[in-house]
Amino acid sequence: MLYSTFLWRRGFQRDNWIHYGLLTIAFALHTVAMAKRGFSLNQCPVNNLYEASAFVLWTIAAGSLALGLLPKLRFLGVFTSPLLFGVGLFALWPGLDTKYVDNQPNFSSDWFNLHVPIILLGYGAFGLSATAGSMFLTQERNLKFHRARALFALLPPIQRLEKIITTTLAIGLTLLTVGVGIGAAFVESGTVFWSDSKTIWSFLVWAMYGGLLVLHFQFDQRGRRYAWWAIVAFGFVILTFWGTNLLSGIHNPAP
């Protein structure tokens, strides 16, 4: 994250692999840590707020590195670094890495092993859309106020960034739909599902992103406002995810 500030000051005018390499090393260490915990539990490590946050960050980092293989998108990691660092520090907050409850969460099928990871992958895709939105706003500002910087900057055109925002939003919404659908289909009978705080919040997120895509395709919502909406929507997800999870009776059953 600190090195990314130097790239910002240089105006992204020089192809630099150092930041990409640092992000790759961090991603490798993150992957090893998640794998070690997963093997120790014999399941995907997504059972508390710390693990869920780590999984979302892992998804965002993986997407940034994959897109960064394209020269014009290599600086995407510069925009994701502050997000990864900030949320990663918050995930280490004492109390988020809680002990497991034998019946947590209360699903009647091993399909739960897919329910949570699919949803978290969707949140990761939303995070990539917000990152692409930040890059869009940077390039759009350069075009407006610093034409020379925009001309020599190694950033993709705003039209391509807008396509990336739309694609990642669509992928995230699809994954969220599938994940919530699996949860609804395989939650244990007698469990309050539709009135649970996490369920209500998930449908609110689904409606928010679905509405954003409808505005884009049906009402030609584009440009700066579209990028801002992608950022604000993910900010809402990040700021409210933990609270709704703690209020959820399904995800926090009584011992």
Q: Is residue 159 part of a domain?
A: yes
Domain that holds residue 187: 2-247
Express each pLDDT in 42-51 by its tens digit: 888 888 889 9
Domain count along the chain? 1
Is the dihedral angle over the CA atoms 122, 127, 133, 139 positive or is it negative? negative
The model's pTM is 0.85
Of the candidates 50, 111, 108, 58, the residue with the CA atom closest to the CA atom of residue 80? 58
Q: Is residue 254 part of a domain?
A: no
Q: Is the pLDDT of residue 216 over 90?
A: yes
Q: Is residue 10 part of a domain?
A: yes
Task: Please compute the mean of the pLDDT values over residues 7-21 and round it to a whole number.
Answer: 76
Q: Is residue 53 part of a domain?
A: yes
Which pair of structure tokens corresponds to residue 189?
């009978």
Q: Is residue 255 part of a domain?
A: no
SS3 state of residue 107 = strand
Q: Is residue 253 part of a domain?
A: no
Confidence of residue 108 (pLDDT cuts 50, 70, 90): very low
